[in-house]
């Protein structure tokens, strides 16, 4: 594993891909957090999805050695990540959200773990919120365990993990993928604009026999969901649900999709009722998830629903 300072010969084999859409000053903090990895030889590719806030221009001026790829349109996370990966030269692709900051040594630790663990094709880093509190970074494939066990109580044990662990899927917030595997998979599925593409990628990797691991020691700070908040506002949670329903429609068929829709509608409906008494904004967010579950149409959402 990498030393705390981030020294790792594997970094010279890595490309860090950051997809930006109006991340503002958070992008500067993100780029500053990868400076040590860049100094150690990692390539940094910044894909700008037609931002209008000047963040890409500021990044270009402050970090002239960072390669900026202009997408010309908002391609979403998956589309932008694919565009960046197509130009990247590294053996390992490290995807980092523009509103996330890799802690010292995190990128080296993540890349080293991916290359050291037998059969690993994808590795996700551990996440903390801006106050340093543990945040979820992995989840389960099956809809019922995902909705019932990937919860605050269900994840209590994962907070104690310190060494790399095999998991079903990891969040794309801070994720490393072997480049040859990423190309074999055809990258992220473009049917997912935002949310669900990381779940889908890990599922398809597992079908090829590649393991996904969580590396808790490779930590990144993530908070705000800046791009998603700008685009979706209070319906962000509903967009997460739509992405996951799209995944179940594509890979699980009607039975898995039906189980997800019914359980999620009941779960978030109950949460909306409870939250309605003391937190109207949160209740509205939960209610939007219920509406998304009831209205989801696989054909209209770009999924087969077979």
| 12 has pLDDT over 70 | yes
pLDDT tens across 67-83, in order?
Answer: 999 999 999 999 999 99
Is the domain spanning 9-224 CATH 3.40.50.300? The answer is no
Quote the CA–CA distance of 261 and 161 in Å, as a whole number. Answer: 31
Question: Between vectors from CA 153 to CA 152 and to CA 159, what angle results, nearest 5°?
Answer: 70
DSSP state of 73: S
pLDDT category, 4, cuts 50, 70, 90? Answer: very low
pLDDT tens across 47-70, in order?
Answer: 999 999 999 999 999 999 999 999
The whole-angstrom distance between residue 245's C-alpha and the CA centroid of its chain comes to: 16
Tell me the whole-structure pTM to 2 decimals: 0.93
pLDDT of residue 6: 45
pLDDT tens across 160-211, in order?
Answer: 999 999 999 999 999 999 999 999 999 999 999 989 999 999 999 999 999 9
Specify the long-range contacts of residues 79-82, CB closer than 8 Å, at least 24 apart: 79/49, 79/188, 79/190, 79/193, 80/19, 80/20, 80/21, 80/47, 80/49, 81/17, 81/19, 81/47, 81/172, 81/187, 81/188, 81/197, 82/187, 82/188, 82/190
Diameter over CA atoms, the chain? 55
């Amino acid at each position: 594993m990498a030393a705390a300072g981030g020294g790792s010969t594997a970094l010279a084999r890595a490309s860090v891909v950051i997809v930006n859409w109006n991340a503002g000053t958070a992008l500067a903090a993100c780029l500053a957090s990868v400076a040590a990895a860049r100094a150690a030889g990692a390539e940094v590719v910044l894909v700008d999805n037609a931002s209008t806030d000047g963040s890409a221009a500021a990044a270009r001026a402050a970090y002239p050695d960072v390669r900026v790829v202009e997408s010309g349109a908002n391609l979403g996370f998956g589309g932008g990540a694919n565009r960046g990966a197509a130009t990247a030269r590294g053996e390992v692709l490290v995807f980092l959200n523009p509103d996330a900051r890799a802690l010292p040594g995190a990128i080296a630790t993540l890349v080293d773990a991916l290359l050291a663990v037998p059969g690993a094709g994808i590795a996700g880093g551990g996440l903390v919120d801006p106050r340093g509190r543990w945040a979820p970074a992995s989840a389960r494939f099956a809809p019922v365990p995902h909705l019932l066990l990937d919860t605050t109580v269900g994840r209590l044990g994962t907070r104690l993990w310190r060494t790399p662990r095999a998991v079903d899927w990891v969040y794309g917030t801070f994720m490393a993928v072997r480049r040859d595997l990423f190309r074999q998979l055809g990258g992220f599925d473009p049917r997912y604009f935002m949310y669900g593409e990381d779940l889908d990628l890990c599922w398809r990797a597992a079908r090829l026999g590649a393991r996904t691991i969580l590396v808790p020691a490779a930590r990144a700070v993530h908070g705000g969901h800046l791009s998603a908040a700008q685009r979706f506002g209070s319906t962000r949670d509903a967009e997460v649900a739509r992405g996951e329903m799209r995944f179940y429609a594509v890979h699980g068929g009607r039975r898995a999709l039906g189980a997800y829709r019914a359980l999620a509608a009941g779960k978030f409906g109950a949460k909306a009722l409870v939250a309605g008494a003391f937190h109207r904004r949160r209740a509205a967010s939960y209610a939007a998830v219920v509406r998304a579950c009831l209205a989801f149409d696989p054909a209209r959402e770009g999924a087969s629903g077979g």
